[in-house]
Amino acid sequence: MNLFNCKFNKTLFTNHLPPRHTSLYNPRATRSSVRFSSESTHRVKLAESLQSETLKLLEWPAVCRQLSAFTSTSMGFAAAQSAVIPVGKTPEESGKLLSQTSAAVAVPRPLDFSGIEDVSPIVNASIAGGVLSIRELCSVKRTLGAARFLLQQLEEIASLNDFSDRYSPLKEILHNCDFLVELEQKIEFCIDCSFSAILDRASEDLEIIRSERKRNMENLESLLKQLSTQVFQGGGFDRPLVTKRRSRMCVAVRASHRSLLPNAVILDTSSSGSTYFMEPKEAVELNNMEVKLSSSERIEEQTILSLLTSEIAESNMKIKHLLDRILEIDLAFARAAHAQWIGGACPALSSRNCNNSQSELLSIDVEGIRHPLLLESSLRNLSTDVSPRSPDLDQGNGVMNFKTKSRARFPVPIDIKVGHGTKVVVISGPNTGGKTASMKTLGLASMMLKAGMYLPAQNQPRLPWFDLILADIGDQQSLEQSLSTFSGHISRLREILEVASRESLVLIDEIGSGTDPSEGVALSESILQYLKDRVNLAVITTHYADLTRLKEKDNRFETAATEFSLETLQPTYRILWGSKGESNALNIAKSMGFDERIIDQAVLWVNKLTPDKQQEQKGLLYRSLIEERDRLEYQAMEVASLHSDIMNIYNEINKEAQDLEGREAAIKAKETHEIQQEVRTVKNEIHTIVEKFESQLRNASADEINPLVKKAESAIASIVEAHQPSKDFLFREIGQSQYTPQVGEQVYVKTFGNKLATVVEEPGDDDSILVQYGKIRVRVDKRSIRPIPADASSSAAVLKTQVQRIRSLRDLGGLSKASKNQQDSYGPVLQTSKNTIDLRGLRVEDASHQLNMAIDSRAPNSVLFVIHGMGTGVVKESAHKLLRDHPRVVKFEQESPMNYGCTVAYIK
């Protein structure tokens, strides 16, 4: 009996109805509950509608389309394109999504999602009662195997890493899944997916039918071949031809020779009528059997396909659950790739209660965030070898870090700082200053956090979790509904106030606009006073100065302003927290050539309308504060950069200084091993010569003994001489104690593995010498250094003399004593990442441009290391020509006698 015969037994499926329950009927309670349920349902539907409209206003679908470029499956691509990616319904769910993204970022290599297909339509077809095709069954089999392989990849990566717990959020997604291995094995047992054919072993009946059909077909073909040969020999056709017509095997015969097959049945004729396709009477029974067996085979194959289909229908819930988990894994890796593309930072959820720590004083603390859609256009304009695919074209996994690219014009980053007690933020400032864009950026950042995405910001941004993000942005005018601009805004605000909760974020653009200013201010203030007690945070933009003064009465209000440069009369797109914005309309009008008499009259009106009449003093104070802030920010950046350089040098020194004794012992052990190996080699060579000499000596005559002795002695002497140290080495070892290096001299340092280093200070009383190796300065024992061999030092000296002679001829009359004294003030030449420019791989024009910018940015009396490499020498020649002609370059020289790929330039 076949193995799978018992597995495909016909079973009946019955649906069990749930048991009935009795309940008491209370009409009054029923009416009350129905009314409450109706109100609750209306509020939920309204909240969903407003949330959906808000996401469109914030352009959330466009951010999801960004994400779709990094998906690996058709399910993930479709979900991201239609903006139905998972979003946390609670802070815990959002935290779980973020942990999955962080785990995917830490995975060292991308997972292989090949073989995974969206088989949900196939599963639905099986539930509907259809019979799946071989191709569809193979798609299910491949998907099940590929899903199991995903978990194997994750477990393999975790086993190779010491911090395997970091991948647990990803492994947990698939750990409790049923991969339906038995179903996969059944399909594999029954179907050969490589040839899309059902195998004989699928059932015993199929195997018997195919065996009988094969034997019958062999008999039929043998008979027809014999008859067609007789027809050919009788001149009935050009060649023996056996073919099939109307599902029956037959022989081709000329119409004029049909008598060669007496009592044969004509199945078909050629288009010209000259050829008959005839079924001989001897083949009728065999053809009948072929038709019967073929029909039985099809019926049995359909039975097998039907049984496999029913297996899939029974497992439909498990398959769909597995597809959901695969989609979750795919989107986690898509979020990780998107995070690397935007150079994102992992956001943190701010606590609900204010703590005393400095980091928890702010409810929202986001530094240097850029709008993701504005950032996308900048990233796509970069010319780079590794770039993400366009979401409109394909669905690959491209990864790029924009921080390494400096030529693209990136959007201006903004800081968002909101304290724990703040409930309403009023942003004011001129039009086109970035108020609305900043508000949208906050809304998108909150939504990205809920969806487990990294933010395009610096450090670690911190935001609260909002249950609803509700926005009123843009013109709500509707001619169809007879709504004016003001009516449209008021209608939407009414709906927002109806559904907003204490965990909601409300964004309102130009509140109270479109009506009488005095009434607009009154209504706006009333709305803000209402919101401060009922939402987590409300951010509004306005031109009403009265709203910016609410902070003076209630500390739950905060003000912010978009910065405006009075020098360029252009917005800087930065947010100044705690400031009040000014429209600057008169300054802009004056800069555009407006009649000064009109401007003066407008200034008089402003002075009459403004209560305190201190515009000029406020403007001067504001500008001075801005300048002071810019100066302090610049100093802070300089200090941070200096601190970073110091820490980098410290870390490099610390890394090089670790386990010096252990490395020295390892070098000594290696040298000892090499010497022992060399001694063994010499012994073996001498032993071979002695054995050869003794062998020749036995058969040699008296006259041949002396030549043999001399030959053996000569061979042994040559071996000894070949393995002796050189005279220069012996001289260095003997005169090591008397050798005293000079400042600026290059020497070999034994503790560095006999690497070249430069002497910085003369030897001290304790026989220690300060040397510089790369970026590291360290004191070493005088006994651990040795000089460069005489031939190398002399050649270096000759080369240096020639270079200096050429320079002196070129710069004759061009350098004064003052410039000479200036050159002496450069101090030790120390290469760091700040004073180094790498031109390798660039074209000549790009290299010249980069070098010019580097020279211009260097401070006076500094050095610049120019790495141009050797190659064809074109970049090096261009760099030297630019250095020779540049007015700020005092001189330039090769970095070291042994390094022709780097040039040191001395800047005035």
pLDDT tens, position by position, 42-87: 888 888 889 999 999 999 999 999 999 999 999 999 999 999 999 9
User: CA-based angle 8:11:17, to the nearest 5?
Assistant: 145
Residue 473 has pLDDT above 70, yes or no: yes
**DSSP 8-state assignment for residue 257:** G
Q: State the Cα–Cα distance between residues 513 and 77, nearest whole angstrom.
A: 41
More confident residue, 591 or 620: 591
pLDDT reported for residue 325: 93
Predicted confidence band of residue 896 (pLDDT cuts 50, 70, 90): low
Kindly list the distances between the CA atom of residue 200 and the CA atoms of 10, 219, 312, 635, in Å, as whole numbers in the listed order: 20, 21, 21, 81
Residue 272 has pLDDT above 50, yes or no: yes
Residue 534 has pLDDT above 60, yes or no: yes
Kindly list the distances between the CA atom of residue 888 and the CA atoms of 311, 828, 839, 853, 906, in Å, as whole numbers in the listed order: 81, 20, 19, 12, 8
Query: Which residues, including other chains, have CB under 8 Å from residue 59's CB and lie 6 or more apart?
Result: 373, 440, 444
Residue 110 has pLDDT above 50, yes or no: yes
User: CA-based angle 384:874:811, to the nearest 5?
Assistant: 125
Q: State the Cα–Cα distance between residues 486 and 472, nearest whole angstrom.
A: 12
Q: State the Cα–Cα distance between residues 454 and 440, nearest whole angstrom.
A: 16
pLDDT reported for residue 760: 83
Length of the chain: 908
341 burial level (CB within 10 Å; 0-12, 13-18, 19+): buried
Task: Please give the average per-residue pLDDT across 256-282, as a whole number.
Answer: 90
Strands 275-279 vs 248-254: parallel, antiparallel or unpaired: antiparallel
More confident residue, 712 or 752: 712
pLDDT reported for residue 477: 44
Predicted confidence band of residue 143 (pLDDT cuts 50, 70, 90): very high
Task: Identify which of 435, 436, 454 has the alpha carbon closest to the alpha carbon of residue 445.
Answer: 454
Identity of the amino acid at 571: P
Residue 813 has pLDDT above 70, yes or no: no
pLDDT reported for residue 73: 92
More confident residue, 634 or 27: 634
Residue 359 has pLDDT above 60, yes or no: no
Local structure of 746: helix, strand or coil: strand
pLDDT reported for residue 478: 43
Residue 651 has pLDDT above 90, yes or no: no
**DSSP 8-state assignment for residue 262:** T
Report H helices in 344-415: 372-380
Q: State the Cα–Cα distance between residues 277 and 86, nearest whole angstrom.
A: 66
Residue 313 has pLDDT above 90, yes or no: yes
Kindly list the distances between the CA atom of residue 274 and the CA atoms of 245, 257, 268, in Å, as whole numbers in the listed order: 16, 10, 11
Instruction: Write out the DSSP string of 142-163.
Output: HHHHHHHHHHHHHHHHHHTSS-
pLDDT reported for residue 409: 62
Task: Please give the average per-residue pLDDT across 893-905, as a whole number.
Answer: 73
Predicted confidence band of residue 811 (pLDDT cuts 50, 70, 90): very low
Local structure of 536: helix, strand or coil: coil
Task: Please give the average per-residue pLDDT across 101-129, as a whole number.
Answer: 91
Query: Is the CATH number 3.40.50.300 carried by domain 362-378+410-584?
Result: yes
Q: State the Cα–Cα distance between residues 470 and 51, nearest whole angstrom.
A: 6
Q: State the Cα–Cα distance between residues 537 and 11, nearest whole angstrom.
A: 60
pLDDT reported for residue 693: 77
Strand blocks (E) in 701-767: 746-749, 755-759
pLDDT reported for residue 799: 38
Predicted confidence band of residue 740 (pLDDT cuts 50, 70, 90): confident
Distance separating the N- and C-terminal Cα atoms of the chain: 96
Predicted confidence band of residue 563 (pLDDT cuts 50, 70, 90): confident
Ranges 377-381, 670-674, 852-856: which has the least confidence: 377-381
pLDDT reported for residue 470: 93
Task: Identify which of 205, 228, 224 has the alpha carbon closest to the alpha carbon of residue 216.
Answer: 224
Residue 836 has pLDDT above 70, yes or no: yes
Tokens of 230: 């007789």
Task: Please give the average per-residue pLDDT across 684-709, as a whole number.
Answer: 78
Tell me which range, 260-264, 330-334, 749-753, 801-805, is most confidently predicted by mean pLDDT: 330-334
Query: Is the CATH number 2.60.40.1890 carried by domain 204-291?
Result: no
Identity of the amino acid at 376: E
Predicted confidence band of residue 543 (pLDDT cuts 50, 70, 90): confident
Task: Please give the average per-residue pLDDT across 141-149, as a whole number.
Answer: 93
Tokens of 68: 């779709």
pTM higher than 0.75 = no
pLDDT reported for residue 140: 94
Q: State the Cα–Cα distance between residues 709 and 139, nearest whole angstrom.
A: 84
Task: Please give the average per-residue pLDDT across 593-602, as a whole number.
Answer: 75
Asked if 854 and 868 count as a contact pair (C-beta separation under 8 A), the reply is no
Task: Identify which of 365, 454, 395, 372 has the alpha carbon closest to the alpha carbon of residue 106.
Answer: 454
More confident residue, 628 or 295: 295
Q: State the Cα–Cα distance between residues 354 and 371, nearest whole angstrom.
A: 28
Residue 407 has pLDDT above 50, yes or no: no
Strand blocks (E) in 133-255: 191-192, 197-198, 242-245, 248-254
Asked if 122 and 312 count as a contact pair (C-beta separation under 8 A), the reply is yes
pLDDT tens, position by position, 570-583: 667 777 777 665 55
Strands 776-781 vs 197-198: parallel, antiparallel or unpaired: unpaired
Q: What percent of the chain has pLDDT over 90?
A: 28
pLDDT tens, position by position, 176-228: 888 999 999 999 999 999 999 999 999 999 999 999 999 999 999 999 999 99
218 burial level (CB within 10 Å; 0-12, 13-18, 19+): exposed
Q: State the Cα–Cα distance between residues 76 and 331, nearest whole angstrom.
A: 6
Q: How many CA atoms lie within 13 A of 284 on its CB side?
A: 9
Q: What percent of the chain has pLDDT over 70?
A: 75
Predicted confidence band of residue 507 (pLDDT cuts 50, 70, 90): very high
Tell me which range, 44-53, 764-773, 866-875, is most confidently predicted by mean pLDDT: 44-53
pLDDT reported for residue 753: 67
Task: Please give the average per-residue pLDDT across 126-145, as a whole number.
Answer: 93
Residue 124 has pLDDT above 90, yes or no: yes
Tokens of 397: 């996994």
Average pLDDT, the chain: 78
Task: Identify which of 77, 113, 69, 76 has the alpha carbon closest to the alpha carbon of residue 340.
Answer: 69
Q: State the Cα–Cα distance between residues 309 and 303, nearest whole angstrom.
A: 10
Q: State the Cα–Cα distance between residues 355 and 361, nearest whole angstrom.
A: 7
Q: Which fold has domain 53-202+302-344?
A: MutS, DNA mismatch repair protein; Chain A, domain 3 (1.10.1420)
Strands 469-472 vs 505-508: parallel, antiparallel or unpaired: parallel
Asked if 122 and 187 count as a contact pair (C-beta separation under 8 A), the reply is no
Residue 618 has pLDDT above 50, yes or no: yes
Domain 836-907: which CATH number of 3.40.50.720, 3.30.1370.110, 3.40.640.10, 2.40.50.140: 3.30.1370.110
pLDDT reported for residue 827: 54
Report H helices in 234-283: none
pLDDT reported for residue 315: 92
Please state at what angle helix 60-68 crosses helix 435-450, rounded to 10 degrees.
50
